[in-house]
Structure 1
Amino acid sequence: MRWSRTLVGKCVLDGKGVLLAALFLWGAGCSVREGALPMGMAWHEVYEPVEDRALWTFMEAARLESERWLGVPTVRLERVELRYARARAEWRHLGVAEHFSLMELVSEEAGHGVIYLGVNGADEGGWFLLAHEVVHLLNPALRDWMMEGLASWFAVRFCEERGVAVAEWRRRLEGGEDAYALSYRLVRDLVGVDEDAVRGLLAFAVADEGQPGWERLDVEGWLGSMAVVRRERLWAVMTLYVDRLAAVASDEVAFTVPVALRDGGR
């Protein structure tokens, strides 16, 4: 399967206008005319490659840590490219989207993915964005606000452990009321209650009935797999966020409110 880079839905901008974690359509095609590229050239090649070895080293370390913390990937990507979300000079006339950050699965069969960064390598905000997108390598088909929260929480944690400045990102995520900020704080607080349970969350990815070709997290199944006492501790955290998150979350990204939680049952 191929995911295009046509951007849709509600995205959060940082102070420089960079997309925090862009959403993209499956199978929608690119936003410029067919035949604009030479035969055999792929769309990701329109964008500038990242040459900074420090970013490559950081990405590989983040991949290892994300797999250690959240589990093995559903698709083993042997080739992951890093590119800036900035068109190469010879292709700027195409008018493709720029200044976004996302992970694209180019080919599942070839194990090929691309991470795009919406900022220059010298910009300290790029480290957080890179660590966030690395988490999406674990399951490229998973489009869920709990996943976005996991990715943001991991990015903050990973960067801080390595002395990378993320104070500005933390300020936005701690104080915002958008879906990215709320999902980050939801995951942060769930980790504070039961880290082991959160580490097993990605194992509950299922097909998203409302978005063919995509997956969502079966939060109800995740909670239902636990003993009552453990589940109730996590429910108590979720009740602080589910209504607000459901109110601001875009329709293109799943967010499942467990029936038992919504109805106040056990």
Structure 2
Amino acid sequence: MCNRRSTIAGLALLLLCSLFAGCVRLPDSKPPGPWYEAYQPIDDEASREFVFLALERAVAEFGEPVIAVNTIMLRRSRKTAEARSYRIGEDFSLTECVDASNGVYVIYIGVDPDHKNYYALLGHECAHLLNPRITDWYMEGLATVFSEQVCQTLGKEWGDWKQRFERSRREPYALSYRMMLALQQAFPDEYPLLVGCAVPNGHGPKWLRIDIDAWLVNLPKERRAEALAIIEPHVSGLSRQTSKQYGFTAPAELE
């Protein structure tokens, strides 16, 4: 009996020690400093030059960013060695303004600079510098179209996106790309006005959507039906892909 009690006590002590040891090893949910400091910097002159030229083209096409861009930090969305224990996401692509007063932005890219889709992703994120608060499928499609065209202009590979987006009938990025490319081709003069038609998206004051009805007003009355005909085939597919992150509002005439 004495040995059994000792064994049980020993097991209990071992279990207790294991539990506390596990708690000690558990990381905090996020790093103590700014998020971007937990990710690997991209120190690449070719990338910096691409961003500079891409932003220059975006401004020429769509107008000045809502928040002036003074500094752009590039990050590979992989944790640094110091941050490897933190529970934060990796391999995503995102543009965020981290200091609106001073115009400081961070662009995160989900692949390495030598990946075939690197410049496709980087070009896409450069379009979001115009207004990173717009998070809907109109803006995502616009950014993808911009990415293709700026990569072509600057002689950068667009990876496998063209083949992928032309074939897919369900992927929202493919649907939004084809929809926005068709709108650009049909309405080259009015297309750049889309970015300026941003309104709150209903998920808090920080996030916006493109008011497609406000944009349609810019078109000649006799051509609005043409724009609606371009958008209509994509409404069902994009409406099924809405979330707090990405919204989609069909034109009122198609609801």
Q: TM-score range, shorter-chain basis?
A: 0.7 to 0.9
SS at match of 1:94: coil
The match for 2:82 is: 90
**Offset, 1:95:** 3.4
Normalising by structure 1, report the TM-score.
0.81
The match for 1:49 is: 41
The match for 1:246 is: 239
Identity over aligned residues, as a percent?
A: 34
The match for 1:107 is: 99
**Offset, 1:225:** 3.0
Partners of 2:159 and 2:77 lie apart in 1 by 23
Q: Higher relative CO (CA 8 A, sep ≥ 6), structure 1 or 2?
A: 1
For structure 2, the 5+ residue unaligned runs are 1-26
**Offset, 1:192:** 1.6
The match for 1:127 is: 119
The number of aligned residues is: 228
SS at match of 1:209: coil
Change (3 A) 1:130 1:233: same
Q: Is 2:169 the partner of 1:174?
A: no
Normalising by structure 2, report the TM-score.
0.84
**Offset, 1:35:** 7.8
**Offset, 1:189:** 0.8
The match for 1:33 is: 28
Q: Is 2:148 the partner of 1:153?
A: no
Partners of 2:245 and 2:115 lie apart in 1 by 30
The farther-off stretch of 248-257 and 197-206 is: 248-257
SS at match of 2:246: coil
Give the partner amino acid of 2:127: V
**Offset, 1:222:** 0.9
For structure 1, the 5+ residue unaligned runs are 1-31
Which structure: greater helix fraction? 2
Give the partner amino acid of 1:73: P
8 Å Cα contact 1:179-1:249 kept in structure 2 = no
Q: Which runs of 4+ in 1 moved over 4 A?
A: none
The match for 2:183 is: 190
Partners of 2:89 and 2:39 lie apart in 1 by 10
**Offset, 1:250:** 3.2
The match for 1:201 is: 194
Partners of 1:118 and 1:33 lie apart in 2 by 23
The match for 2:64 is: 72
SS at match of 2:160: helix
Partners of 2:199 and 2:243 lie apart in 1 by 19
The match for 2:4 is: none
Partners of 1:228 and 1:175 lie apart in 2 by 33
**Offset, 1:167:** 4.9
The farther-off stretch of 60-69 and 88-97 is: 88-97
**Offset, 1:60:** 0.6
**Offset, 1:105:** 1.6
Partners of 2:235 and 2:31 lie apart in 1 by 45
Give the partner amino acid of 1:129: L
SS at match of 2:113: coil
The match for 2:216 is: 223
8 Å Cα contact 1:191-1:198 kept in structure 2 = yes
The farther-off stretch of 128-137 and 173-182 is: 173-182
Give the partner amino acid of 2:43: E
Between structure 1 and structure 2, the one with the greater Rg is 2
Change (3 A) 1:237 1:85: same
State the Cα deviation string for residues 186-240 of structure 1 (Å, max 9, x = none).
Answer: 0011112111121111111112234432111110111123221121221121122
Partners of 1:35 and 1:142 lie apart in 2 by 25
Partners of 1:259 and 1:95 lie apart in 2 by 42
